[in-house]
Amino acid sequence: MFMKSLALSLFVLLLTACSTMQIQKTTPFKPALQKKIAVVPFYNYTQTPLAGYSAASVANVILKSHGYSVTAEQLHPDAKAELEGNSQSRAALVNVLKQKGYDYMLGGEVTEWRYKTGIDAEPVVGLTVRLTDLKSGEPLYSGTGSKTALGSTSLSGTAQKILDEILP
C-alpha cells in the first residue's frame, strides 16, 4: 500500500512540475466598468505570424468576461517603429483612439508563442500587457507573464491562463 501511495505521489509531482508560470504585476489598477477600453494588437516579437493578434483577441474576451466595455481595434502596430523608438506611430494610434471616444488602451508584447520541440510539444507563451490612460498618456498598469504547459494544452489556452492572471 505504501508503494502505491508513493508512486501516485511521484506521478502527481511529475505532472505538476511540467507546467510552470511566472507572473509579475505593478500595483493593481481597476478601471471603472463604464470606461471604454480599446484592445490593440500586441507587438509580436516572435517568429509566429499573427501571435500579437491572437494574444489581443484573448485579452479582449477576458476583459469582457471581467465586465469591462471593450472593443478590439484591428489596427496594425508598427513593431519596427516601436523598436526604433519612433513615437510618431504611437502618437497617431493614440489620437485615433481618442477620436473614437476611448478612455484607455490595452496593448502589449508577445515575447514567446510556440510549441517546444520534442516528443511532448509543450506550449510556451510569454506576454506583457500595458494599460494606458489616453488622456494623460500615462501607463496605469502593466503586467508580464510566461507559462510552459503540458503537451495537451493549446497556445491560446496557455495565453488565456496568463492573461486571466495579469489583466485587471
Q: pLDDT at position 125, please?
A: 95
Q: pLDDT at position 91, please?
A: 76
Q: Which of 9, 18, 37 is nearest to 116 (CA)?
A: 18
Length reported for the chain: 168
Cross-strand partners of 141: 131
Residues in Cβ contact with 119 at an 8 Å cutoff, skipping those fewer than 6 apart:
none
What is the residue whose three cell numbers read 485615433?
A: 96
By CB atoms closer than 10 A (0-12, 13-18, 19+), residue 75 is middle
Residues of the chain with pLDDT below 70 are 1-19, 74-89
Q: Mind listing the domains of the chain with CATH numbers?
A: 33-166 (3.40.50.10610)
Q: pLDDT at position 41, please?
A: 86
